[in-house]
Amino acid sequence: MFGKSESFELDKLRVGFTFKFQKVEWEILEVGEYDWRGDGRSIEYKIQSKNNEIAYLEVERYRGDIEVYFSEEITIDSSILENAIQEKSIVYLAKEYSLEENYRGVYKNITNSGSWEDLESYVFYKKDMMFTIEKWADGSYESFCGMELKKSAIKNIKAN
């Protein structure tokens, strides 16, 4: 029993699980799923730190490997986001991000048994940082800024 720790697959976590990232403990509040219609599926965890910061951890299996993304939601006027999609670039915090990926798919909040919602995702990059714009079927937008992580950056996963 001593010295043995449980091992969890990053794409199989549930509400209430905790983990550490950059020495901060996070708890999973909600679990959602994306189906990218032929480009794979991903799981997204809405997470909260002990300091009540809200962020997102997205986990995707791609060609047998796990890709992990950490991001925080950014509030930006929809006209700026529309322009960024048209221009294929956006400046945020004095960094210019370039559009490199675009996906269409559906999203479902598994925690609250939501229904599938259509969306289009635009992913802009600046070196190891990423800026994502999600355009929903109802015409609304959400935006996020974050980074891709090595799965080893997620430590000390515990089921509660």
Domain assignment of residue 143, yes or no = yes
Question: What percent of the chain has a predicted confidence (pLDDT) above 90?
Answer: 81
Could you tell me if residue 14 is inside a domain?
Answer: yes
Which among 16, 78, 77 has a CA at the least distance from the CA of 46?
A: 16
Domain annotation covers residue 1: no
Indicate whether 144 belongs to any domain: yes
Is 119 within the bounds of a domain?
yes
Q: Which domain holds residue 29?
A: 10-158
In a domain, 5, yes or no: no
Confidence of residue 6 (pLDDT cuts 50, 70, 90): low
pLDDT band with cut points at 50, 70 and 90 for residue 124: very high
Q: What is the pTM of this model?
A: 0.90
The answer to whether residue 26 sits within a structural domain is yes
Q: How many structural domains comprise the chain?
A: 1
Question: Is residue 54 a part of any domain in this protein?
Answer: yes
Cα–Cα distance for residue pair 70/83, rounded to 1 Å: 25
